[in-house]
Chain A
Amino acid sequence: MIIGLTIYYVLLLLIFALGIARFKKLAIPYKILSFYVGTTLLLELLSYICARKYQNNLPVEHISSYSEFIFNALIFYVLLKSALIKKIAKISIAAITVFFIINSIWLQPFLHSFPSNAIIVSEITLVIFSLLVFKQMLQYPLQVNITSQSVFWYNTAILFYSTTVFLNFGLTNYVIKHHLNNATYYNCRVILNMIFYILLGIAIFIEDKKITAHNAE
């Protein structure tokens, strides 16, 4: 478990470093993405420390779930072209932010509960945004190989990660109910996270401002 975690932290650090190294060459969405990876690294470390020291990392989980939502929602806001969808995205970001606050104070208090309600709502929103960007890509296809477009990798990463969250929740219940090996399941989750960040790393690595300008103009 420790080895898996260490690899995961190192991976986050490498992707963050890549984002910083290419920062000037990145378009706005990928600059935000680099900050997101950096913030995730800090919050993951903080979560680990809190779990070790105070046996409670739930407040950090509340913060990281919101940070994940807000960073990605902002990226999608920039990537989306349609003025109407942008407006809807803006409203939904504000509404979900309010929901996060209500949930953390009353529904699933940040000291005692994991913010599963807020995560479900935010991941559904991100999946919808991701599908909208896929649709937008089909509407305005570029004469560039799809694998050379960072938006494709970013979108694939979000679709992959946000849908696996539901699988995770379902499987967590199943694992607990059937007393399955928790460590194997935990390692699988770490691997899924690593795949997600590798996809984001690819997006940052191949990012070309010119292509993104066409995709997000």
Chain B
Amino acid sequence: MQNDGLTVLILSTTAFFACLTGFIIYFVVLYRNRQIANKREQEQLIATFQQELLKTQLEVQEQTLNYISTEIHDNITQVLSFVKLTLAGVAAGAEGEKKQKLTETRELVAQTITDLRDLSKSLSFEHINSLGLRRTIEMEVERINKSGLLKVSFLTDGEVYSLGEQRELVLFRIFQETLNNTLKHAGAKHFKITLQYHPDLFNLTLEDDGSGFSADNLENKTGSGLRNMENRAALIGGVAKIISTPGKGCCVAVVLNPLKQQFYTDGGTHPNRIS
């Protein structure tokens, strides 16, 4: 009787521990599989981000080269042609006229040198790295205001901090694309840029008083650039909101938490990899 009891005792205990051990082994195997799947997923995300970042860099470069090309063609070449014509006419004129023409020519050459100096600054694609987002935007604002195409106001709120090279590049590209859209399509007179630096929140707001557009535009081809902004903002861990109604301008706002680490930006540390 006692032996039977002992057998039952041993059997039930063994069965119990076998189940428990089985569960733990099953969990370990399952966990390992999840680790592998997770690693693949993260690698895919890194690759997508790197591709998008490269695309952004190329777009920024293209935009800069376009600007330089336009400046050389529309401004510098014109001024230098004028200088050439003026100098050609100097020999034929009277002494007083000669002096005046030479003074005018010297002023024009000085202006061209200043323009070329400004242009050479734009040639540097490393602006964002060295100057940071705020200063780079500030330089763009100076340029646009000088051109007279648009009246741009720029406000900064809070103590400026770095968001990291990659995040700032993407934000600059969003700014550049919005400004481009405003110049090309909006017919706006004013453009307002606001940068808000709070300890746990960064906000980039871009507003114009142009013609605006309806929400339907976001669905069709016109909206692909706008959707691109939303996707890029998401890649750096932010949220882009585009608000516009016909006749009431457009507002693009990008909000992100600077404390939230996006593992594939700024260093590319794996989120689940413990060093």
Partner-B contacts on A (CB < 8 A): 134, 137-138, 140-144, 146, 156, 159-160, 163-164, 167, 170-171, 174-175, 178-180, 185, 188, 208, 210-211, 214
**A contact residues around B125 at 8 Å (CB):** none
Q: A146-B32, A178-B1, A179-B2 are in contact. Are A140 and B20 (CB under 8 A)?
A: no
Cβ contact of B272, chosen from A141, A164, A178, cutoff 8 A: A141
Known: A141-B34, A174-B5. 8 other contacts (CB 8 A): A138-B30, A156-B24, A159-B24, A163-B20, A174-B8, A175-B9, A211-B274, A214-B272
**B contact residues around A143 at 8 Å (CB):** 35, 38-39, 270, 272-274
Most buried by A among B12, B23, B274: B274
A180 touches B274 (CB 8 A): no
A167 touches B12 (CB 8 A): yes
B13 at the interface (CB under 8 A from A): yes
Report the separation of the CA atoms of residues A47 and B236 in the bound assembly, to the nearest whole angstrom.
58
Closest to A164 in B: B16
> Nearest-CB distance from B259 to chain A (Å)?
13
A142 touches B272 (CB 8 A): yes
B274 touches A159 (CB 8 A): no
**B contact residues around A208 at 8 Å (CB):** 274
**B contact residues around A178 at 8 Å (CB):** 1-2, 5
> Nearest-CB distance from A124 to chain B (Å)?
16
A146 touches B12 (CB 8 A): no
B28 at the interface (CB under 8 A from A): yes
Closest to A147 in B: B28
Closest to A134 in B: B27
B8 touches A167 (CB 8 A): no
B274 touches A141 (CB 8 A): no
**B contact residues around A159 at 8 Å (CB):** 20, 23-24
Most buried by B among A164, A175, A180: A180
Partner-A contacts on B (CB < 8 A): 1-2, 5-6, 8-9, 12-13, 16, 20, 23-24, 27-28, 30-32, 34-35, 38-39, 270, 272-275
Report the separation of the CA atoms of residues A185 and B13 in the bound assembly, to the nearest whole angstrom.
11
27 A-B pairs with CB atoms under 8 Å apart are A141-B31, A141-B35, A141-B272, A142-B272, A142-B274, A143-B35, A143-B272, A143-B273, A144-B273, A146-B28, A156-B24, A159-B20, A159-B23, A163-B20, A167-B12, A167-B16, A170-B12, A171-B12, A171-B13, A174-B5, A174-B9, A175-B5, A178-B5, A179-B2, A180-B9, A185-B9, A214-B272
> Nearest-CB distance from B84 to chain A (Å)?
66
Report the separation of the CA atoms of residues A141 and B33 in the bound assembly, to the nearest whole angstrom.
10
A180 touches B5 (CB 8 A): yes
> Nearest-CB distance from B274 to chain A (Å)?
5
**B contact residues around A137 at 8 Å (CB):** 31
Report the separation of the CA atoms of residues A141 and B31 in the bound assembly, to the nearest whole angstrom.
7
> Nearest-CB distance from B270 to chain A (Å)?
6
Report the separation of the CA atoms of residues A163 and B24 in the bound assembly, to the nearest whole angstrom.
13
Cβ contact of A138, chosen from B16, B34, B273, cutoff 8 A: B34
> Nearest-CB distance from A81 to chain B (Å)?
13
Q: A140-B272, A143-B272, A144-B274 are in contact. Are A171 and B9 (CB under 8 A)?
A: yes
**B contact residues around A144 at 8 Å (CB):** 272-274
**B contact residues around A179 at 8 Å (CB):** 2
Report the separation of the CA atoms of residues A175 and B2 in the bound assembly, to the nearest whole angstrom.
10
Report the separation of the CA atoms of residues A174 and B1 in the bound assembly, to the nearest whole angstrom.
13
**A contact residues around B23 at 8 Å (CB):** 159
Cβ contact of B13, chosen from A156, A167, A214, cutoff 8 A: A167
Closest to B38 in A: A141
**B contact residues around A210 at 8 Å (CB):** 274-275
**A contact residues around B275 at 8 Å (CB):** 210
Report the separation of the CA atoms of residues A170 and B9 in the bound assembly, to the nearest whole angstrom.
10
**A contact residues around B39 at 8 Å (CB):** 143
Closest to B34 in A: A141
A180 touches B16 (CB 8 A): no
**A contact residues around B274 at 8 Å (CB):** 142-144, 208, 210-211, 214
> Nearest-CB distance from A196 to chain B (Å)?
12
Closest to B4 in A: A178
**B contact residues around A141 at 8 Å (CB):** 31, 34-35, 38, 272
> Nearest-CB distance from A128 to chain B (Å)?
15
**A contact residues around B273 at 8 Å (CB):** 142-144
Report the separation of the CA atoms of residues A143 and B263 in the bound assembly, to the nearest whole angstrom.
13
**A contact residues around B34 at 8 Å (CB):** 138, 141
